[in-house]
Structure 1
């Protein structure tokens, strides 16, 4: 409930309309889209994991985010089949036996990219490859489709806590990204007061 309320509240602010007036539909791939005049300019993406939600907004481009919390005891060898590309599977194999961090990295990157592209995991996820961006360095990654680089994008890893990893993909080159963190309790008070007060860290 908090995540949905926050999403409506923020979109209402961006579009200068009442949050309760917003209407959504769903694409064939399950992605929510806005039904409002001028809404096509505003791109948004939402992801959530235990105790945390991640929301991204951008104008006149495509954007995708994903957040995952590390969970011990997963059958890592069985995760990603049909989703990861051959290169991503090789990267995961090379990281074993301590491959949990690599799994989180690959998974969040892949999800963020596919959300931005609008297909999600319903398309051909294994046709896309994500990997570290050797030119831009730590914290940046890049993507390709069937071996052809996807250029003109900004792709970032997001470290959101000791056990939480996230990723962002936006179809703008050298995009300026601002990360704002706010506990849900702050949003509850904000919602009641009718004023915004995000804390940046």
Structure 2
């Protein structure tokens, strides 16, 4: 691991601890974490079943999300120029998602990132990550709610009661959040690296 990556990892984990400690009104160093069978970190102590969090990072950016009494997942990805998207997502994307990607070829990079971030956010919120059956879930634009909103289904059955949003962080970055609360209030706070 390069020193920059190691330092970035340490900074992310320290910020996460500091923020969760603030939310739970306890010292960050007193927090204890455990990992679910699918590898998702959760707060073990203090008794904090009420707080949910999700972390994602890409080159030069970290996205942290917190929620109370629900499940939450986020993902952020930076576009890589010249990336050959052919075959990416196979086995991960549902048939509907693969067809949406195929319709956008040859310039499908933006669509790939949108589908990928939505899928990752949903699967993180569900707690399975890519370890479950990711292609059993479909994410697509929510035509009723309009731009920036998306919805999800599992084996063709709509997953209701969720708030699913695309997040805008610039032309080369795609991000998404999935929250297991209908009409959740989502606020953003941006911090720049010093």
Could you state the TM-score of these two structures normalised by the residue count of structure 2? Answer: 0.94
**Secondary structure at 1:39's aligned position in 2?**
coil
Aligned residues: 185
Residue matched to 1:146: 155
CA deviation after TM superposition for structure 1 residue 184, in Å: 2.5
**Secondary structure at 2:86's aligned position in 1?**
helix
Gaps of 5+ in 2: 1-9
* Counterpart among 78, 83, 97 of residue 74 in structure 1: 83
**Counterparts in 2 of 1:110-149, with a 5 A limit?**
110-149=119-158
* Counterpart among 155, 178, 183 of residue 169 in structure 1: 178
Q: Supply the distance in 2 between the matched residues of 1:109 and 1:136 (Cα, whole angstroms).
A: 16
**Secondary structure at 1:161's aligned position in 2?**
coil
**2:187 is aligned with 1:178:** yes
CA deviation after TM superposition for structure 1 residue 159, in Å: 1.0
Residue matched to 1:14: 23
What is the root-mean-square deviation in Å for CA atoms of aligned residues? Answer: 0.7
Q: Supply the distance in 2 between the matched residues of 1:22 and 1:156 (Cα, whole angstroms).
A: 30
Could you state the TM-score of these two structures normalised by the residue count of structure 1? Answer: 0.90
8 Å contact 1:2–1:184 — kept in the other structure?
A: no
Q: Which runs of 4+ in 1 moved over 4 A?
A: none
**Secondary structure at 1:102's aligned position in 2?**
helix
